[in-house]
Structure 1
Amino acid sequence: MKKFAYQAAVLASLAASATVAMAEDSKSSIAGFSVAGSVAATTDYRFRGVSQSSNNPAIQGGFTINHESGAYLALWGSSVDFGVAGNSTETDASLGYTNKIHFSPSYSATYDVGITHYGYIGSGHSFDRSGIGYEGKNGLDFNELYAKLIFADSLFTGDSLTLGVNYSDDYWAHTKNFWYFNAGYSAPIADTGFTGIASVGYNNFKNKDAMAVVAGGPAKDDSYIDYKFGVQYTVLGVTAELAGVGTDVSTSGVPGALQKPYELGAVFTLSKTF
């Protein structure tokens, strides 16, 4: 608990200081640049359905430097717990470009393309996958390309539909070719102030061994599906989210305590944007 409290304090202070220090600048563009930030606390950090914090709470924060051209640089961090000695923090950096694509004079969508580097402080020499029968480098860091389309007011006024695809050739330490296809949807629930959210993702690995490196278990398949459904409510600028998150990863033959990171679980998150 003390370790988590320390991580929370560090990440929260870094994110808050970065966003607060630049808050005035973000209100008006300077040389075409503006800044936005966010902080969040969650009961379980789930990435593509799988817990990154051993089903324990995590604190997160980051900021994005935007340019009026559509280019941006985003930095984001979270506390993590993989059971890897010396590794307790994930730090990601994304370089991307976003703009509008017009399908007709009256309807357009937003596209977003870029590359993300996923970094894990302290994991460089403390996590060696060669011992579990799969060729790979030490450490957890990897790069990933992404592209997505965002459709506003797709079915109803105020809703949003997102379609995305991601690709990495060294996913989680050289698991070779990996593809991630995903779709997300959000819509206001009548006039209640609540927003319904749902998403589904398809994780495709080169082979069963590659999936075993990332998702664990008996590796009976070379792919898995992750999903999320829930509601959000914003009050005083703080968004509260309660969601069910899980995967269809086979946990047959896996000890009970090790099944939980992949199974359906309730996740509560508080977040604030600046």
Structure 2
Amino acid sequence: MKKYLAVCALLAFSTALSAPASAQKEGSEEGGFGSLSGKLKLASNYMYRGLSVSDDGPQLQGSFTWAHDSGFYAGVWASNTSAGGEGNSVEIDPFVGFAGTVGDSGVGYDIGFWYYSFPGSVADLDYWEVYGILSYTLGEADLGASVWYANNYFGDDFFPDTPSYALQTTASYPLPIGEGVSVSGKLGRQIFDESAALTAQDYTYYDIGVSKAWDAVTLDLRWHDADGVKPDLAAPENVGSLVASIVFSF
């Protein structure tokens, strides 16, 4: 792993979270042409849908997001990773989307395109996903549901032509033990269209954790896990982990 390359790439972007613009509102700098926000995240593991993609090692993750008042947004996201095949140690993902609310219903929506790239890889493992997200606040609880679709989840050189879907729900609720303290969780199902090379790999993933937020800093302790993961998809030691993280918003 060329970790020096990964660190340099992330610091060049200088910021973090793997969420679309609907979740990247704080820390933005307003201007006549929209707002610019950024985040920097340090975590004990890089977990993606219940699986570690940093070989259970630490993660440095950063992002920039530009958002316009119309609802259009675009950005770039980056992290060190053990995914992406031989020669690769960094993931760099550009994304674009559009977010807003449905009239006065209180229902938020976010639709977008996310491109996963592994620039150092010898193999072609890049792929893209399109997503749609609905959100709603019920009392003090924030609820969400989303669908993610990839036409070639593993890229051209590893289980090629394998479409996939991820169906996901999220919820968060403030805890009455201090300002900025909340509990949140996620439940999702990763579904693969079966091909000649890949069969019966669908699995369920979830996480639950507690976070404490200040103005520009958030601490989080979270358990990630997955059920039904087969060894040819991920090594058993890379399934599930307790992750501590700190996020700085700019």
Q: TM-score range by the shorter chain?
A: 0.7 to 0.9
Matched, 1:142 2:127: yes
Secondary structure at the counterpart of residue 207 of structure 2: strand
How many pairs align?
234
Distance 1:77 1:250 in 2: 26
Deviations 1:151-194 (A, max 9, x none): 12x1x32x211100011111121342211100011110114232
Distance 1:48 1:234 in 2: 23
2:149 touches 2:163 (CA, 8 Å); kept in 1?
Answer: yes
Matched, 1:96 2:75: no
Out of 131, 152, 168, which is 2:150 matched to?
168
* Runs of 4+ residues over 6 Å off in structure 1: none
**Aligned counterparts, 1:48-59, within 5 A:** 48-59=49-60
1:42 touches 1:269 (CA, 8 Å); kept in 2?
Answer: yes
Where does residue 32 of structure 2 map in the other structure?
30
1:15 touches 1:38 (CA, 8 Å); kept in 2?
Answer: no
Deviation at 1:237, TM superposition (A): 2.3
Deviation at 1:239, TM superposition (A): 0.7
Distance 2:161 2:192 in 1: 8
Counterpart code for 1:81:
S
TM-score (norm 2): 0.85
Of 75-84 and 107-116, deviating more is 75-84
Question: Higher relative CO (CA 8 A, sep ≥ 6), structure 1 or 2?
Answer: 2
1:71 touches 1:97 (CA, 8 Å); kept in 2?
Answer: yes
Deviation at 1:96, TM superposition (A): 0.4
Deviation at 1:14, TM superposition (A): 1.6
1:109–1:165 distance in 2 versus 1, CA, 3 Å: same
**Aligned counterparts, 1:61-72, within 5 A:** 61-72=62-73
Matched, 1:272 2:248: yes
Deviation at 1:234, TM superposition (A): 1.9
Where does residue 260 of structure 1 map in the other structure?
237
Where does residue 177 of structure 1 map in the other structure?
163
Counterpart code for 1:203:
Q
Deviations 1:108-129 (A, max 9, x none): 1110001111111112xx23xx
Deviations 1:138-163 (A, max 9, x none): x21001110001112x1x32x21110
Gaps of 5+ in 1: 18-25, 128-138, 213-218
Distance 2:196 2:71 in 1: 39
2:92 touches 2:117 (CA, 8 Å); kept in 1?
Answer: yes
Where does residue 226 of structure 2 map in the other structure?
247
1:182–1:239 distance in 2 versus 1, CA, 3 Å: same
2:201 touches 2:229 (CA, 8 Å); kept in 1?
Answer: no
Deviation at 1:84, TM superposition (A): 2.8
Aligned-residue sequence identity (percent) comes to 26
Secondary structure at the counterpart of residue 76 of structure 1: strand
**Aligned counterparts, 1:1-274, within 5 A:** 4=3, 6-7=4-5, 9-16=7-14, 26-31=28-33, 33-82=34-83, 84-102=85-103, 105=104, 107-123=105-121, 126-127=122-123, 139-152=124-137, 154=138, 156-157=139-140, 159-173=141-155, 174-193=160-179, 194-207=181-194, 221-235=200-214, 237-251=216-230, 258-262=235-239, 264-274=240-250
Distance 1:202 1:249 in 2: 10
Deviations 1:10-58 (A, max 9, x none): 24422338xxxxxxxx533223x21011110111101111111011001
Of 236-245 and 76-85, deviating more is 76-85
Gaps of 5+ in 2: 16-27
1:55–1:189 distance in 2 versus 1, CA, 3 Å: same
